[in-house]
């Protein structure tokens, strides 16, 4: 794994607003505390989400972008980028690969955090089709697209974006995490980020307790002990 001292820029690629906060907001807060530059790239605006549909899709998209900005601020992230692909209709297309590769070349991250592209049969929630599509496209954008100067040559020719090699990827929501981050000291900020998504979670009774119990269970699974909270990832080296 990359040593902490070699992680200076991180790109978090997710399908929807709130995905980064469920999967990695505690880890992101700890990275930001160390001065790491973190960028969020959201493939959709989450326009097909929301419990109370008093807004049309355009209004919901605007609301969810606002909620995500507030959530990002809670963990120290101010650089957010939205691709605007239709929520619920994401496929790992060449267009999506190019869009993600473009941002990789712009941000030039050492580490990318994104969805696991495989279905998790033990816990179905992370396996939304958009999540799996984004995870697959992001991995393809990391390798080979962003590092290959001959892939999407228009990025270099027309936009001046030269090839960039991401050194490591952390996948969220997969069936077999092999790297755990103790996020106990950032759990209050993770919860604040999640609660910023009012349109998605305000109707869930006992939401805070539910979140704490899930990540406390992972803390025990990780071996951090009772009363500790953890986020889990599968690490992919790109060497």
Report the topology of domain 4-237.
Rossmann fold (3.40.50)
Q: What is the pLDDT of residue 50?
A: 66
Cα separations in angstroms, 189 against 38, 41, 75, 147, 222: 16, 20, 6, 34, 21
- pLDDT of 20-34, one tens digit each? 999 999 999 999 999
**Which DSSP state fits 4?**
G
Reported as a pLDDT band with limits 50, 70 and 90, residue 62 is very high
Q: What is the pLDDT of residue 42?
A: 98
- pLDDT of 88-147, one tens digit each? 999 999 999 999 999 999 999 999 999 999 999 999 999 999 999 999 999 999 999 999
What residue ranges do the domains of the chain occupy? Answer: 4-237
Question: Can you name the residues that pair with 82 across neighbouring β-strands?
Answer: 42
Q: What is the pLDDT of residue 55?
A: 65
Lookup: tokens for 163: 């090839």
């Amino acid at each position: 794994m990359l040593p902490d001292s070699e992680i200076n820029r991180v790109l978090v690629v997710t399908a929807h607003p709130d995905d980064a906060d469920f999967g990695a907001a505690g880890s992101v807060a700890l990275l930001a505390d160390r001065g790491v530059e973190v960028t969020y790239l959201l493939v959709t605006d989450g326009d097909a989400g929301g419990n109370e549909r008093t807004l049309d899709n355009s209004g919901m998209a605007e609301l969810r972008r606002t909620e995500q900005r507030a959530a990002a601020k809670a963990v120290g992230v101010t650089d957010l980028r939205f691709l605007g692909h239709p929520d619920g209709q994401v496929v790992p297309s060449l267009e999506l690969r190019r869009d993600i590769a473009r941002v990789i070349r712009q941000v030039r991250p050492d580490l990318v955090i994104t969805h696991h592209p495989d279905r998790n049969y033990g816990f179905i929630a992370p396996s939304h089709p958009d999540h799996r599509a984004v995870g697959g496209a992001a991995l393809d954008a990391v390798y080979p697209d962003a590092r290959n100067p001959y892939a999407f040559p228009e990025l270099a020719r027309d936009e001046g974006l030269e090839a960039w090699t991401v050194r490591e990827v952390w996948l969220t929501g997969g069936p077999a995490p092999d790297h755990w981050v103790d996020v106990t000291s950032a759990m209050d900020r993770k919860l604040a980020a999640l609660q910023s998504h009012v349109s998605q979670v305000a109707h869930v009774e006992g939401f805070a307790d539910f979140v704490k119990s899930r990540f406390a269970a992972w803390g025990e699974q990780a071996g951090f002990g009772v009363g500790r909270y953890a986020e889990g990832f599968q690490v992919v080296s790109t060497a």
